Structure formats: C-alpha cells, structure tokens
Amino acid sequence: MPRTKAVITDYIGTLVSIRDYQMQTSRKKLFEFLTEVGFQLNLEEFLYAYKRSHEKYQRIRYEEFLEITNSVWISEALNSLGCQTDTEDPRLKTAINLFFHEYLCHLELRPHTKQLLERISGEFKLGLISNFTYSPVIYASLQKLGINQFFNAILISHDIGYRKPHQKIFLDALRKLQVDPKEAIYLGDSPLEDIKGARAVGMKTVFVPSQFYSSMDLRESKQETDFVVKDLGDFLSDLPKILVE
C-alpha cells in the first residue's frame, strides 16, 4: 500500500467557520460604493438585477462546475440597468473588495485548526483546495488567521476556472504537491464537492461535519468515505490511524 505523503484539505467550513455574517450588509455596501463612483442606481432595482444575474451564474457554477467571478454578474446587473461597464472596470474590483470586507472579518479558525496544520505540515506535504469566486479573499484570510505558512500548495477555483467536484482542481493540487492520488488524504465537509470529488480521482477521504454539513447530510448523499471524524480535534487524535490504514 502506498505511503501517505500529502494531506489536502478544504477551507471554508472545514478549517474555518463564519460567524454572524449578514449577506445583506455586503450587498448594501456594494450598492453604496457603486453609487459613490458614479453609477446611477436605485437600491431596489439594483438588488433585483444583482439577484437575477447572480442566480443565472450560480446555476452554471453548480451544474457545470465552472467558476465565475463576481465581476461577471455585477457588470451584467449594471448593464441591465443601463450602466456601461465590463468585467475589467477597476471600479468593480474595488467594489468586490468592499463587498467581501465584512465576510473576511467574520471568518474564524475552527478549534484545533492551527495545531492540526502544525502537526501535518511537520511530517507531510500540505495542500488546500477552496471553491471561492474571488481568490484575494482566501489569500487575505489565510494571512489574517496566521495559517498561510503551513501550505505547500493553495488552489482556489477562481484561479483554476473549475470548482470542486470537477477533477481538474484535485488533479492540479496533486500535481503541484508531486504526489499520486493514492499517496494523498483529503479532508472536507461537503459530501459532494469534497468527498465525491476527491474519491473520483483516487484519494482516500475524511469527512468532518461543519456548520454547513452534518453527518446526516453525508448519509443522505450516499457518498462513501474512508473515515468520519466528529471534529478537527478528533481528526488530530486519529491521525496516526488514518495515515496508516
């Protein structure tokens, strides 16, 4: 049996939680900034156009596993209201940074995250794969939370163009870490994006419940996994057994 050489983990939900975040606050700040930089907008009309555009691309993202960044649906919403802009408009980049500021402030490490990463990175290659529409948020949060230094490879769907469970993002991670699938263990909280995706390329998987997914969600998904742990502390305790089985 191949020796484990790498551990790859999901990010949002698995290593970090989001506490008391309100999407409405971010959307309102987005609207306020856009009006400040010259877009003539009505709040209700903008929020409706934004919702329609977001839902359109959400379907593509979740059905075709193609990642589409925020500037695409924001510019489409603005254009539908008669504003002339495109995805390269520098005002949109600033707007997206402001949109995610609240989100970034509400991310926090789950218990035992730092101890787990210290332990793994001391013995194995460590990779991170995140489905996220705007990669600067992930890089900024890793630095803010003090864990960016642990990872040998960081892959974000915004940069890759494909979302989990698409095989490309998993295979790219394995390639960057220079390991075969059977030499890697994947830790994640989503039965479909994480467990299904990682198993499809031949990795051993570990499911950890989160604020987003429970053990019941795993059972109902009918996805098979090699291990189920109750939290990151449990994974840390069982690490020697998981790595050798």
* Tens-digit pLDDT profile for residues 68-101: 999 999 999 999 999 999 999 999 999 999 999 9
Percentage of the chain exceeding pLDDT 70: 99
pLDDT reported for residue 210: 98
pLDDT reported for residue 3: 86
Residue whose pair of structure tokens reads 């959400």 in the numeric block: 58
pLDDT at 125 exceeding the cut of 70: yes
Higher pLDDT, 131 or 243: 131
pLDDT at 245 exceeding the cut of 80: no
- Give residue 128's identity as a one-letter amino acid code: L
pLDDT reported for residue 146: 97
Euclidean distance between CA atoms 155 and 172, whole angstroms: 8
pLDDT at 38 exceeding the cut of 80: yes
Euclidean distance between CA atoms 29 and 242, whole angstroms: 45
pLDDT at 13 exceeding the cut of 90: yes
pLDDT at 1 exceeding the cut of 60: no
Q: Looking at 22-26, 79-83, 131-135, 197-201, which range is the least confident one?
A: 22-26
- Tokens in use for 167? 């095989």
Q: Which residues pair with 153 in a beta bridge?
A: 127
Taking the CA of residue 90 as centre, how many other CA atoms within 13 Å lie in the half-sphere pointing to its CB?
Answer: 0
174-229 confidence digits (pLDDT tens)? 999 999 999 999 999 999 999 999 999 999 999 999 999 999 999 999 999 999 99
pLDDT at 244 exceeding the cut of 60: yes
Question: Model pTM greater than 0.85?
Answer: yes
Q: Can you tell me the mean pLDDT for 30-36? A: 95
Q: Can you tell me the mean pLDDT for 125-129? A: 98
Q: What is the rounded average pLDDT for all residues in the chain?
A: 95
Arch. (CATH architecture) of 6-19+108-244: 3-Layer(aba) Sandwich (3.40)
Q: Can you tell me the mean pLDDT for 123-142? A: 97
Q: What are phi and psi of 194, to 5 degrees?
A: -90, -60
pLDDT reported for residue 199: 98
Three-state secondary structure call for residue 162 = strand
Euclidean distance between CA atoms 173 and 122, whole angstroms: 19
Q: What pLDDT band is residue 2 in, cutting at 50, 70 and 90? A: low
